[in-house]
Amino acid sequence: MSTARPPRLFIPGPVEVEDDVLQEMAGPMIGHRAPEIGELIGAIRPMAEKLLRTSQPVYLMTNSGTGAMETAAINCVKNKVLSCVNGAFSQRFAEICDSHGYEVVRLKVEWGKAIHPEMVREKLNEGGFDAVTLVHNETSTGVMSPLAEIAKVTNEFDDVVLLVDAVTSAAVVPIETEKLKIDALVTGSQKGLAIPPGLALSTFSKRAMERAKKKKLRGSYFDLLSIHKSWEKDQTPTTPAVPQFRALRKRLEKIMANEDAWYAAHQEKADLTRKWANDRFAMFPEAGYESVSLSCIENTRGISVADLNGYLREHGVMLSNGYKALKEKTFRIGHMGANSIEHHQQLLDLIDGFLEK
């Protein structure tokens, strides 16, 4: 077996995970209907609710983030949904809604731009909508849209639920899920939550749960009512990813030990990278909406990003090329996960070394 460490990840997910969190995953297996699973879920529950700033249940779903997006779409949309699309993942949310036969109206914004509250109001004013999908942080473009302001707008409309993908923003910035009256907040484990892939945490408002009850077809694996029924017993409907649950418990304990420091560290890494990028390149996102989770940098010098990554790989690290149409036009440095500010400085120094070649 090779003992070489794979490159240190500066990609925007999956992210680097500390050894003490990884080691949690190696414990003996437990029965998924035995008391031990209840103890594990019971320990996670209050911390997860605190993290997502809600008194509603936080469900631990064994699937990737996309599954949680689909859960929101299946259970919470009635007929007509406004999908805010400003990149690849928000496009995915719209396509998931298409796949369930809803009438999907897209609020399309150029890649790199944010969704602005007044755009949402204008569209909702056209009438007939019962749901809005929004990706808080577009990982494809590095844009963080103003969630609080958008939630204020959707709340002006009766019976319009707000479904938010917070896969790369939850646990990166505090999100006031309940105060903002967000109806569905979905996340994935390998991004902001900084544990290995395989889990999606999600939480739903009372109103969203009422919607689910009224839906005739909720599928099976993503049926919220079945997920909730198991949650009441500190269980999950099907066999969960126990190792990831253990990593999550450890992660949440570490965050809760000093939440402010956890969030501040992300901001610090983003600030350092942004300043560096503005000196040497330019930030791709609309000014004022640059993500804290990742920096999407415009390749103004016309370097080969593929060659850059080849060079970085030789030095034991890797970043992300631009997403699809943005390939070689941008590159992305993730700030989520266990990389320290020193690791970031090392990465930036390495890129400077490449630029000088």
Which residue in the block uniquely carries the two structure tokens 């909508």?
129
Rounded CA separation 18/276 (Å): 26
Q: Which stretch binds ligand PLP (CB under 6 A): 16-24, 51-59, 164-172, 335-343?
A: 164-172
Minimum CB–partner distance for residue 191 and ligand PLP (Å): 6
Kind of pairing, strands 8-9 and 317-318? parallel
Binding mask 260-299 for ligand PLP (x = CB under 6 A): ----------------------------------------
Q: Of 49-57, 160-168, 218-226, 274-282, which segment contacts ligand PLP by CB under 6 A? A: 160-168
Q: How far apart are CA 160 and CA 123, in angstroms?
A: 12
Tokens of 15: 């992210």
Among 18, 36, 45, 64, binds ligand PLP (CB under 6 A): 64
Min dist CB 261 to ligand PLP, Å, is: 24
Q: Is 335 in the site for ligand PLP (CB under 6 A)?
A: no
- Do residues 278 and 49 make contact, with C-beta atoms less than 8 angstroms apart? no
Q: Please tell me the distance from the alpha carbon of residue 153 to that of residue 266, in angstroms, as a whole number.
A: 28
Q: Does 185 bind ligand PLP (CB under 6 A)?
A: no
Dihedral angle at the C-alpha atoms of 162, 168, 172, 173, nearest 10 degrees? -30
How far lies 147's CA from each of 164, 180, 294, in Å?
A: 9, 9, 17
Residue nearest to ligand PLP (CB): 65
Choose between 157 and 196: whose C-beta lies nearer to ligand PLP: 196
Q: Does 221 participate in binding ligand PLP (rule CB under 6 A)?
A: no
Considering the rule CB under 6 A, would residue 323 count as an interface residue with ligand PLP?
no
Please state the three-class secondary structure of 330-343 as a single string. Answer: EEEEECCCCCCHHH
According to the binding rule CB under 6 A, does residue 139 interact with ligand PLP?
yes
How do 58-61 and 200-204 pair as beta strands? antiparallel
Dihedrals phi, psi of 26, to nearest 5 degrees: -90, 10
Q: Which of 24, 70, 130, 165 binds ligand PLP (CB under 6 A)?
A: 165
Binding footprint of ligand PLP, residue count (CB under 6 A): 12
Least distance CB 194 / ligand PLP (angstroms): 13
Burial of 52 (0-12, 13-18, 19+ CB in 10 A): buried
Q: Which amino acid is at 78?
A: K
Least Å distance, CB 87 to ligand PLP, is 8
Say whether residue 345 binds ligand PLP (CB under 6 A): no
Of 92 and 350, CB closest to ligand PLP: 92
Q: Per CB under 6 A, does 168 bind ligand PLP?
A: yes
- Which of 59, 65, 198, 319 binds ligand PLP (CB under 6 A)? It is 65
From 98-106, 146-154, 161-169, 270-278, give the range in contact with ligand PLP by CB under 6 A: 161-169
Among 9, 10, 11, 13, binds ligand PLP (CB under 6 A): 13
Interacting positions 74-113 with ligand PLP (CB under 6 A)? 89
65, containing H or E segment: helix 65-76
Q: Is 191 in the site for ligand PLP (CB under 6 A)?
A: yes
DSSP code for 54: -
Hey, what are 327's tokens?
Answer: 């390939």
Triad 215, 203, 57: Cα angle to 5°: 100
Beta-bridge partners for 133: 83, 163
Contact window for ligand PLP (CB under 6 A) among 63-71, 72-80, 259-267, 320-328: 63-71
- Write out the DSSP string of 131-183: EEEEESEETTTTEE--HHHHHHHHTTSTT-EEEEE-TTTBTTB---TTTTT-S
Q: In the complex, which residues of this chain contact ligand PLP (CB under 6 A)? A: 13, 64-66, 89, 135, 139, 165, 167-168, 188, 191
